[in-house]
Structure 1
Amino acid sequence: MTYAPTPHLDNNHSVFGKVSEGMDIVKAIRERDPGTDRSPGDAIKTITILEE
């Protein structure tokens, strides 16, 4: 999950999606920069992917 532009992913990876419910959970995830913060991020235990 990204909160800012990620140009290093352009033409290398597909990153897309939409939160359809549970935005309060998304907002509770601690933001961190893995380039400067070496502590583990919040664990995401389950996720449901819906295809329309």
Structure 2
Amino acid sequence: MTKYAFHKSSYSTTNGNCVEVATNIRTTVAVRDSKQPTGPVLRLTPTAWTRFLSGLS
């Protein structure tokens, strides 16, 4: 089982709407809801993650 090292995203808000991101696996960016740490994990390629972030602005 892959061990992701999640950290709170800089895009998270202080009102509890938090996203956690793990980038410790070179080929994968893992994203999850901090309110459900045992819930589903979205796994993206680093390229897809970069495209997603650039689409936010």
Larger Cα-atom Rg? 1
Do the structures match in fold with TM over 0.5? Answer: no
Q: Which has the higher strand share?
A: 2
TM-score, normalization by structure 1: 0.29
Using the size of structure 2 for normalisation, the TM-score is 0.28
